[in-house]
């Protein structure tokens, strides 16, 4: 669900996902939230029950009509493990950037990318978006010859126009405990 808070952190509203999507989400849920105009956008981390393999849901909650609508996002296929979405960022009202990543670290890491897609002007059903590669972040994660973290999770475009990304060490077993913060320059 989405939770709207006031400035003091008190819950103002709880917004459940649409019933069909909520019933189909398994162990992985929302991994990103973005605002654009009167809509709140979410990225579902992994394929939900009933959707085509290697697709993720992108949801739009219209705060005026109080309704959900959904897009399908075609994920890259990881050679080991799975791939999914970790973040969604509004570039403008029609274009969004996402982090797509696999769940591998070290030498097995293969997908740590930033893609962008445009939202259809109008849609019915659950159309599939067309994605465009913006940046393969794996070379930057390998640049210091250290351990490549599996969870590239945060993305932001700052006032200076630079795109920043951060990993989440998540305190998982066998992880180094490092967090990597990257200045990727002007991308979006």
Query: Could you tell me the residue ranges of all domains in the chain?
Result: 2-183
Nearest residue to 181 (alpha-carbon basis) of 160, 156, 171: 156
Q: Which stretch of DSSP H or E encloses residue 140?
A: helix 138-142
Q: Do the Cβ atoms of 21 and 59 come closer than 8 Å?
A: yes
* pLDDT at residue 169 tops 80: no
Confidence band for 13, pLDDT divided at 50, 70 and 90: very high
Query: Across the chain, what does the average pLDDT equal?
Result: 93
CA distance 58 to 43: 5
Confidence band for 26, pLDDT divided at 50, 70 and 90: confident
**DSSP 3-state assignment of 106?**
helix
Q: What is the mean pLDDT of residues 121-129?
A: 93
Q: Do the Cβ atoms of 84 and 75 come closer than 8 Å?
A: yes
* pLDDT at residue 71 tops 70: yes
Q: CB-based contacts of 145: which residues, under 8 Å, 6+ apart?
A: none
Q: What is the pLDDT of residues 74-99, one digit of tens each?
A: 999 999 999 999 999 999 989 999 99
DSSP codes, 68-95: EEEEEEEPPPPSSS-EEEEEEEESSSSE
User: Which of 175 and 155 is assigned the larger pLDDT?
Assistant: 155
CA distance 125 to 167: 34
Q: Do the Cβ atoms of 63 and 40 come closer than 8 Å?
A: yes
Nearest residue to 111 (alpha-carbon basis) of 134, 143, 77, 160: 77
């Amino acid at each position: 669900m989405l939770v709207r808070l006031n400035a003091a952190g008190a819950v103002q509203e709880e917004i459940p996902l649409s019933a069909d999507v909520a019933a189909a989400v398994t162990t992985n849920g929302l991994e990103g939230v973005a605002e654009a105009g009167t809509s709140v956008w979410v990225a579902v981390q992994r394929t939900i029950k009933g959707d085509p393999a290697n697709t993720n849901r992108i949801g739009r909650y219209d705060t005026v009509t109080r309704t959900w609508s959904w897009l399908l996002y075609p994920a890259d296929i990881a050679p080991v493990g799975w791939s999914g979405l970790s973040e969604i960022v509004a570039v403008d009202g029609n274009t969004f950037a996402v982090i797509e990543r696999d769940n591998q670290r070290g030498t097995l890491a293969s997908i740590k990318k930033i893609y962008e897609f445009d939202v259809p002007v109008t849609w019915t059903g659950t159309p599939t978006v067309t994605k465009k590669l913006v940046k393969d972040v794996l070379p930057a994660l390998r640049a210091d010859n250290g351990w490549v973290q599996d969870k590239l999770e945060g993305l932001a475009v700052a006032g200076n126009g630079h795109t920043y990304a951060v990993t989440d060490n998540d305190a998982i077993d066998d992880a180094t405990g490092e967090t990597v913060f990257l200045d990727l320059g002007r991308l979006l």
